[in-house]
């Protein structure tokens, strides 16, 4: 069950992310695919970050344009060398909106 607070913010965002990844109820937007290719982020790394990352509450925001919360998940790749912020939103499924590189391996 999805639990939201008064503002509509999901209370257990990481649990929701994991549930959507495990059940394969997610889609990657065209913009996120472009960023995925640009940053050379493999699908296993993307899913690893989503399921093992942390919720960045200060980077989460409400989009009046789309009438939805955009949640920021921050994490490292499987090898621990690169760090990314992934922005997701929820409709019937989880949408991966963009991928932002934060730290690059040397």
Instruction: Give pTM, 2 decimals.
Output: 0.87
Q: How far apart are CA 35 and CA 17, in angstroms?
A: 20
Torsion, CA 61, CA 40, CA 30, CA 100, rounded to 10: 10
Domain of 29, CATH number, reads 3.30.2310.40
Q: What is the pLDDT of residue 80?
A: 92
24: in domain: yes
Q: Is residue 5 part of a domain?
A: no
Position 49 in a domain: yes
In the chain, the DSSP E strands lie at 26-28, 54-55, 61-63, 68-76, 83-90, 94-103
Would you say residue 95 lies in a domain? yes
Please give the tally of structural domains in the chain.
1
Predicted local confidence at residue 9, as pLDDT? 54
Q: In the predicted model, what is the mean pLDDT of the chain? A: 88
Within-domain flag for 92:
yes
Distance from C-alpha of 10 to C-alpha of 69, rounded to nearest angstrom: 9
Domain that holds residue 88: 13-103
- Percent of the chain beyond pLDDT 90? 69
């Amino acid at each position: 069950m999805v639990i939201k607070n008064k503002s509509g913010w999901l209370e257990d965002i990481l649990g929701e992310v994991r549930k959507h990844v495990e059940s394969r109820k997610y889609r990657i937007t065209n913009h996120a695919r472009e960023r995925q290719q640009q940053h050379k982020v493999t699908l296993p790394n993307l899913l690893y970050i989503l399921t093992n990352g942390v919720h960045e509450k200060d980077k989460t925001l409400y989009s009046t344009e789309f009438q939805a919360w955009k949640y920021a998940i921050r994490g490292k790749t499987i090898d621990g060398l690169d760090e990314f912020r992934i922005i997701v939103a929820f409709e019937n499924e989880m949408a991966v909106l963009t991928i932002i590189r934060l730290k690059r391996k040397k």
